[in-house]
Structure 1
Amino acid sequence: MCGPFYAATGRVWRMSAAERDAACAELREGLAPVVEHAGERGITLGIEPLNRYETSLVNTVDQALEALDGLLGPALGLALDTYHLNIEERSSADAVRRAGEHLVHVQVCGNDRGAPGHDQTDWPALLTALDDAGYDGPLMIESFTADNASIATAASIWRPLAASQDDLARDGLSFLRSLGDRTTTSAGAIT
């Protein structure tokens, strides 16, 4: 189970270093029994860092590693999304490498939230970083539609990202597969 379940999405606020430390301590305290419960049932949780426009607490891989220190393990890891990496990280590939063994889920889309490919993301470097991190799970295309008012507002999608959602999925899958056999073998399945 993956997502940004550490703060309400869209809630942003300023924090001093001391306030951030206190918020992270509160997060660890509240999350610890959930992680224990999940682990007892063979469930892995993945915390997803979101960009600064969606939350103030966990925006980068380094912030996630710091905030979750002591809890990361078989029942808790990181879920990374290329859209948020593109906004918050200086290098998406380096961020993936820093997540390393804690990487449990990867969501992919173009830097504009459209289909992967035909965007400015360095996809070969990202896939190499996933290999370097030892990630062998699926790459899940995550995008949104302007046709659903609540989703469009929540994700700030004000224009179509493709002719249709089926086209977006087809184009994204085709692009990822075009990167070569390594996309479906060493970097995991494409779904």
Structure 2
Amino acid sequence: MGIRDEQKERTRQDILDSAIRLLRGRGISGASVSEVMKGAGLTVGGFYAHFDSKEALVGVCLRQALRERWSQLLTVVQSSGSEALEVLLRRYLSRRHRDNPAEGCPLPAVVGEAAHAYASPQARDALAEELGAWAEGLGTLPGGKGLRRQQALGVIALLFGGLSLARALKGTSLSDEILEACRALGRAAMRGP
């Protein structure tokens, strides 16, 4: 790869990093092309040299952000042995994750918009692919052997839903109660029927 190609790849990654920060904090509609490019220290005119459309950018960003989040979680929980799923619940459904949306999972900020008819197929495809991978991954964790796909998908929905509600109620005592209730329900779900 030549110097020019390396520079183009670095610029593309700067755009992705900016877009991911905005997606996590503001959702899809809050990540306008102009704001993304401003966050990357670039002009809007350069956007289309890297992406065909905002929809294409959102699809790539969701894939990257969800993979990064899953990788971060795996790094933390894999050394936990049979307690890996418990550690995952505590880590994802934590005050720190609730209080720092720009650093965490993009799901709470984007899922509501992805459900609308105007949402792009790229966003939905990225969500389906990555969350399917999360479900498969849950079953491979120590302590997760035998976790059926249906259970894993339920746990993912519980993680996302619990975090979303806790963020919406941040600053209230109910927010902390929701985090704890979801951790308890997640433990019960992972034990199976």
Q: Which has the higher contact order (CA 8 A, sep 6+)?
A: 2
Instruction: Give the strand-richer structure, 1 or 2.
Output: 1
Shorter chain as normaliser: what TM range?
Answer: 0.3 to 0.5
Given the two structures, how large is their TM-score scaled by the length of structure 2?
0.33
Structure of higher CA gyration radius: 2
